[in-house]
Structure formats: C-alpha cells, structure tokens
Amino acid sequence: KNTLVTNFGNCFNGCTSVSSIPANLFDNNTQVMHFGSCFDGCTSVSSIPVGLFDNNTLVTNFSSCFSYCTSLSGIPSGLFAKNTLVTNFGSCFSKCTSLSSIPAGLFEKNTLVTYFTSCFDGCTSLSGIPAGLFDNNTLVTNFVSCFNGCTSVSGIPANLFDNNTQATYFNSCFYGCTSLSGIPAGLFDKNTLATNF
C-alpha cells in the first residue's frame, strides 16, 4: 500500500490520455507532503474526485498540481479542507482553460499558505472570483500573476485582499484580464507592505 510515500511530485505529469482520477487514490498515503505537478499536463482529466486529498494531512506543496489540465471544468468544494499545512499553491490550476468557477471557501482551511503565484494563470473560462477567497490566508506574500490571462473575469470582489496584509508582490496579478470592467475602490488599501504591482 506504499504507506511511507512522501512525494508524488510529477507522478502523472504529461499523461495526456488519462481521463479520470480514481476516488480514494491516495487514501493510504498519509505521509505525503508533496503533490507538486502531480497531474500537470493531464489534458483529458475533466474532474477531480471529492475528498481526493482528505487523508493527506501533511501536504505542504500543491504547486502546479493540476496545471495544464485543459479539460478540467470544476473544482470540488472542500478539496483542500484537510490539508491545513499547505504553504504553496503556486500555478496549482494554471492554464486550466475549461475551468469556469472557483468554489467559495476553497482555501479557507489553508491558513499557512504564502504563495498563490500564478494559481489561476490562464484560466480563460473563469467567469468570476468568489468574495472572501483569500480571507483566511493571512500569511500570503505572493500573488504574482494569480489571475493573469483570465480573459472572462469581468469583476474583482471588493476587499479581496483586505486580510492579506503580509503580501508584497502583486505584479501581473490581473494582467490580460480583458473583460475586466472595473476595479473596486481601495482594492489594495490594506496591503501596506506591497512593493511590487
């Protein structure tokens, strides 16, 4: 059962013909800390099983985990609810061009996260950003290119970054959001440590 596995980085990277992920795939791998690029480039995967990572409570890294999963259309609510030690979601859903929405509260249990760099970069079908998406992520320092190229996003929730007072980098955060029709007043008012926009 491989109960001592700690790293699934790049495990299924580039498996373009894999169309589904078995439920309970990682249930016995309770020591895993790294899922970086695990399903990166799995262009035929269209969905993620509910509770896929529920037993992987030691995970710290989900960077590029589902990057370039171009057929992925949704994210289960509470996907990362049991992964309270995660620090890195960089490029986690980057280039998921079919992803149309983000569940409210997706990251609410991930209070140790510091990186959301390019998390939703190039998600061209994403139509909106949930209010309070980052409210509990008070240690985040980096939002570089977080929503870069999200060409269908038309609005930014007011107070989106109010609780992210440690954030220093926002450069290219909304670069290329060509449908964006407005910017909330005071969007970065609480980000007094930011040095790069």
The 3-class SS string of 45-114 reads: CCCCCCCCCCCCCCCCECCCCCCCCCCCCCCCCCCCCCCCCCCECCCCCCCCCCCCCCCCCCCCCCCCCC
d(CA 120, CA 91): 7
Q: Tell me: the pLDDT tens digits for 104-159?
A: 999 999 999 999 999 999 999 999 999 999 999 999 999 999 999 999 999 999 99
Tokens standing for 169? 């980098």
Average pLDDT, rounded, for the chain: 97
Best CA proximity match to 5, nearest among 28, 35, 29, 34: 29
What predicted TM-score, i.e. pTM, was given to this entire model? 0.96
Section 37-44 average pLDDT = 98
Q: Residue 43: what pLDDT?
A: 98
Best CA proximity match to 1, nearest among 30, 22, 41, 39: 30
Judge contact between 138 and 165, C-beta under 8 A: yes
Judge contact between 159 and 188, C-beta under 8 A: no
- CA Rg value for the chain: 16
Section 10-24 average pLDDT = 97
Section 15-40 average pLDDT = 97
Judge contact between 21 and 49, C-beta under 8 A: yes
With H, G, I as helix, E, B as strand and everything else as coil, classify residue 195: coil
Reply yes or no on whether the pLDDT at 8 is more than 90: yes
Section 9-23 average pLDDT = 97
Burial class of residue 180 in the structure, from the number of CB atoms within 10 Å of its CB (0-12 exposed, 13-18 middle, 19+ buried): middle
Q: Tell me: the pLDDT tens digits for 62-110?
A: 999 999 999 999 999 999 999 999 999 999 999 999 999 999 999 999 9
Reply yes or no on whether the pLDDT at 3 is more than 80: no
Reply yes or no on whether the pLDDT at 57 is more than 90: yes
Q: Residue 4: what pLDDT?
A: 86
What band does 1 get if pLDDT is binned at 50, 70 and 90?
low
